[in-house]
Amino acid sequence: MTHVGKVYRPPSEAHSYLLQATIGCSWNRCTYCDMYRDKPVFRVRPLVETLREIEESGRRYGARVDKVFVMDGDALVLPTEHWLELLGALRAAFPGLRRVSCYAMAGNVIEKGPADLARLRAAGLQLLYMGPESGDPATLKRIAKEGTFEEHVEAAVLARAAGLELSAIFLLGAGGVERSEAHARASGRLATAMDPRWLSALTLTVVPGTPIARLEERGRFVLPDVPGLLQELRWFLDEAHPTAATFRTNHASNYLPLAGELPRDHERLCGVLDAALQGRVPLRPEWRRGL
C-alpha cells in the first residue's frame, strides 16, 4: 500500500483498505481546510500504477478486505471510465468486497449525471461522503465551499436515484458567532433536503496557517464557545428531519459524542443535548479532541 502525504478518511472507514487513486483535492480552496496543504497540486495517480497496487494487495490481503475507501479529497472527480477500471480490479482482487466508498463534491456528482452514476453503482461504488458543511448561503460563500444549498440537494437526489448511499457531514462553528444560528438551522434544513442514510456533525478546529485562522487573527472570525457549539447542534437537530438516517457526532473534533437513529431517537438526542447545555453531561476534554 503506497500513500503520498497525510491520509484522511471518515471514522467509519477505520478498517477499510485505503486506495489512493488521486493525490490531493481538486478544489483545495475551503478556508478552514488544512488536509491537503502538503499536496497543493492535485493530480490523478496513473491508472496503471493504481491497478498494479490493487493486484498486489489482492494477492497479499485477498478475502480479508471487505471495504475499500478510495482517496484522496474528492476521488469522484475521476473520469467514469477510470472508475470502472478501478472497481473491476477491486472486485477481482478482493472476493469478499462489500463496499466501495469515496468523498464526493456536489459538482462532481452533478457532472457525472444519472447514467454514469448508475454505471458506477452497478460496478460496485456504494457510498458517497459529501461534506456541504453548511446550508447557509452566506457561510458557504465565506468558507469558499464548493456547491450551493441547491446544488447539494441536486447532487443528493441524483446519487440516491442511482442507488448510491449518502453520508452528509456538517461543520459546527463554520459560520462563526455571527452566523451561528443561521448556519446551524440552514444546515439542518439541508440535511432534511439531502435525506442521507448517514448524517454527522464535526466541530471546526481553526488550524494555524489556514485562511480562516488569518481572519480569526484579525478579529474577523470568532468561533463560538463550547456552549455555543452545543447550541448549534441543538438548532441543527431542530431542523434535521431525514427519512431514516444514522446520526453521529463521534468524530474526535466534537465535545459531545452522540449516536442514534433519526427520526426515531430525535427526542432522546435533544434531551442529552439539553442536559449537556445545562452542564449535566460530561464533555470530551480539550486534550482528547482532534481534527
* Choice between 19 and 35, CB closer to ligand SF4: 35
Residue 158: name the closest of 106, 93, 207, 203 by CA: 106
Choice between 57 and 142, CB closer to ligand SF4: 142
Can residue 25 be called a binding residue for ligand SF4 (CB under 6 A)?
Answer: yes
Cα of 222 vs its chain's centroid, Å: 23
- Return the residues of window 89-118 that contact ligand SF4 according to CB under 6 A: 105
**Which of 58, 73, 124, 242 touches ligand SF4 by CB under 6 A?**
73
Query: What cell numbers appear for 40 in the block?
Result: 497543493
Residues with Cβ < 8 Å from 286, sequence gap 6 or more?
none
Which position among 19, 21, 23, 30 is part of the footprint of ligand SF4 (CB under 6 A)?
Answer: 30
Q: Which residue of 19, 21, 23, 35 would you call a contact of ligand SF4, by CB under 6 A?
A: 35
In the chain, where do the E strands start and end?
A: 17-20, 22-23, 43-44, 67-71, 99-103, 125-133, 165-172, 198-203, 245-248, 259-262
Contact pick of 10, 20, 27, 256 for ligand SF4 (by CB under 6 A):
27
Please, which residue, 94 or 221, has the CB nearer to ligand SF4?
A: 221
Rounded CA Rg of the chain: 19
**For residues 30 and 93, which CB has a smaller minimum distance to ligand SF4 in the complex?**
30
- Tell me if 28 contacts ligand SF4 by CB under 6 A: yes
- Quote the CA–CA distance of 37 and 146 in Å, as a whole number: 17
Taking the least distance from each CB to ligand SF4, the nearer of 36 and 235 is: 36
- End-to-end, the C-alpha distance of the chain in Å comes to 24
Q: Choose which of 19, 21, 23, 33 interacts with ligand SF4 (CB under 6 A).
A: 33
**How many residues make contact with ligand SF4 (CB under 6 A)?**
12
